[in-house]
């Protein structure tokens, strides 16, 4: 049992040479990051790695060591560079097997045109579970804490939404305070607020097109923490530098 | 001395909690990836990590082990979460010192308003070098093979371009072949081409809005390799599935 005050730790691994050769700009990492934050999670890292067995195995093992959940994107098609499923099996120390339900789906879809390459998509790590994915007939393969999603953005998003509620735990609260001051002048105060109130502070300077010079964000798992830190900031700052404070309290979404 | 036939291996580390909380979508990773490819490099990984000391130190060390160059983005401002420079020093096993040229720049810029927080920006790993950055007065700090760039996209891009030519080595060549066929039917051929010709093959299915179903890309360090692999593909494929072949040879840019 984990309290909802402890955010779910999630790592995202984006797999594909095309992302590292600049051919394709990833969309899935930011999509999942933003949605996971709204679901109360902490995304601890996003890695873009190539279709290389050693890299994938190593990254999955490394991410599993310090996260509750790992989400992968890409490398689940029929071609020679689609090796995500076999690498996850290796990372977990299990073998792969031809899963009958997936095999039947592939045979139904491809009929006479089925090739051994297609069957690689149905060859999954021993111990995997299949999650229904709403409208889509192809299920989400997951194994222990690893969810294996396809790289094509529209399918990635549909699959992500199909499993999103399983990942919801607690909530982040956020308020911002907008200041007309140089970041360097408030650095000590921000550190103090973070330490005294157990909140996460972000500091975002802007140079153009805004009526403020720094936006300071205050985030925590409880509204009280956020409000207390904002109140202290407002008290300690020179009132003339405060442009405005976000009110009421928002969530990170 | 390294031959231009061996691509420079580069890892990119994007540092900042704001990238992992979904507040800001990274732009620098894709920019650098695309430009590095055009400069002939192999980007081996892109990591988005938080402003956490252990994570940054670990990632820098890990990337240095298997790359020629590491580029970092972010974490170089004056606030408490700007810890990139001190983490790089720790990763390299050196200490930090207040660099006189940077100290003078900061004093000149901030004058009376300078704070100890500002001086953190001038406190850099022992053994660092300063690279002129064209129009910008603030130089690029680099140390051994680590180039430390700021996270603000417009400044990141300007700094990147100021050092780009130092990273040029050799060139990638690319041709594409567009097919009306299911990926699964050509998986074995693609693997064979990759093995026989020492080329990198990419396979990109499309479902909508194109006159082909799969784009196959063939890339290598020499035009001859690419042309030989394309010729063999054209010979082995059923001519009726070939929609067209890119001609002439292009670079990856």
Mean pLDDT of A17-27: 93
Q: Where are the beta strands (DSSP E) in chain A?
A: 9-15, 42-49, 69-73, 96-98, 123-125, 129-133, 136-143, 146-149, 173-179, 200-205, 214-220, 242-245, 250-251
Q: Which of B25, B118, B183 sits opposite A30 (nearest CB)?
A: B25
Q: Respond yes or no on whether the N-terminal peptide bond of residue B248 is cis (omega within 30° of 0).
A: yes
Residue B196 Cα distances to A86, B176, B201, angstroms: 24, 18, 12
Is there a contact between B13 and B174 (Cβ–Cβ < 8 Å)?
A: no
Beta bridge partners of A100: none
In the block, residue with structure tokens 């990833």: A26
Phi, psi (deg, nearest 5) at residue A125: -60, 135
The answer, for A223 touching chain B at a CB cutoff of 8 Å, is no
| HSE-up (13 A, CA, CB side) for residue A214 | 21
Burial class (CB in 10 A: 0-12, 13-18, 19+), B235: exposed
Crossing angle of helices B223-236/B183-197, nearest 10°? 140
CATH fold match for the domains B9-167 and B173-251:
no
Cβ–Cβ of A43/B20 closer than 8 Å?
Answer: yes
What are the residue ranges spanned by the domains of chain A? Answer: 9-167, 173-251
CB B74 within 8 A of CB B14: yes
CB contact under 8 A, B185 and A44: no
Tell me, what's the pLDDT at B135? 43
How does pLDDT run across B159-181, given as a tens digit for each residue?
A: 999 999 999 999 999 999 999 99
d(CA B91, CA B86): 9
Q: What is the model's pLDDT at position B144? A: 77
Of B45, B80, B194, the CB nearest to A187: B80
C-alpha–C-alpha distance, residues B162 and B157, integer Å: 9
Task: Report pLDDT digits (tens) over B18-66.
Answer: 999 998 999 999 999 999 999 999 999 999 999 999 999 999 999 999 9
Structure confidence by residue, pLDDT tens digits, A149-196: 999 999 999 999 999 999 999 999 999 999 999 988 999 999 999 999
- B115 and A187 within 8 Å at the Cβ level: the answer is yes
Predicted local confidence at residue B1, as pLDDT: 38
How many Å lie between the alpha carbon of B21 and the closest alpha carbon of chain A? 6
Which residue is closest to A117 within chain B, CA to CA?
B184
Interchain CB contact of A252 with B (< 8 Å): yes
* Highest CATH level, class, for A173-251: alpha beta
Q: What's the pLDDT tens digit per position in A27-83?
A: 999 999 999 999 999 999 999 999 999 999 999 999 999 999 999 999 999 988 899
What is the tens place of the pLDDT at every residue in B104-132? Answer: 999 988 899 999 999 999 999 999 999 97
Whether A234 contacts A249, CB under 8 Å: no
Alpha helix positions (H), B84-214: 84-92, 100-110, 116-119, 153-163, 183-197
Please name the residues between 108 and 137 in chain B that touch chain A, using a CB distance below 8 Å: 110, 113-118, 120
Q: What is the ipTM of this complex?
A: 0.93
Task: List all residues 6 or more positions away from B62 whose beta carbon is below 8 Å from its beta carbon.
Answer: none
Give the count of beta carbons closer than 10 Å to the beta carbon of residue B164: 14
Collapsing DSSP to helix, strand or coil, B237 comes out as coil
What per-residue confidence (pLDDT) applies to A127? Answer: 95
For the full predicted model, state whether its pTM sits above 0.80.
yes
Q: Which CATH superfamily is domain A9-167 in?
A: MoaB/Mog-like domain (3.40.980.10)
């Amino acid at each position: 049992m984990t309290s909802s005050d402890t955010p779910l730790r999630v790592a995202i691994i984006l797999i594909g040479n095309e992302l590292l050769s600049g051919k394709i700009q990833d969309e899935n990492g930011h999509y999942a990051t933003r949605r996971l934050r709204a679901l109360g999670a902490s995304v601890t890292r996003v890695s873009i790695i190539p279709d290389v067995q050693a890299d994938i195995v190593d990254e999955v093992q490394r991410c599993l060591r310090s996260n509750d959940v790992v989400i992968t994107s890409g490398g689940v098609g029929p071609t020679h560079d689609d090796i995500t499923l076999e690498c996850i099996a290796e990372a977990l120390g299990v073998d792969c097997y031809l899963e009958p339900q997936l095999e039947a789906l592939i045979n139904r879809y491809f009929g006479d045109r089925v090739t051994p390459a297609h069957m690689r998509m149905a060859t999954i790590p021993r111990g995997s579970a299949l999650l229904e994915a709403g409208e889509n007939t192809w299920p989400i393969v997951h194994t222990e804490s690893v969810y294996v999603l396809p790289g094509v953005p529209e399918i990635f998003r549909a699959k992500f939404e199909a499993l999103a509620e399983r990942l919801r735990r607690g909530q982040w609260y956020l308020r911002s305070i907008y200041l007309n001051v140089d970041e360097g002048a408030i650095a000590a105060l921000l550190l103090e607020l973070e330490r005294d109130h157990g909140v996460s502070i972000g500091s975002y300077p802007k140079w153009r097109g805004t009526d403020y010079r720094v936006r300071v964000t205050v985030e925590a798992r409880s509204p009280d923490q956020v409000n207390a830190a904002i109140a202290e900031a407002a008290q300690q700052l020179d009132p003339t530098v405060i442009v405005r404070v976000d009110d009421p309290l928002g969530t990170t979404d």
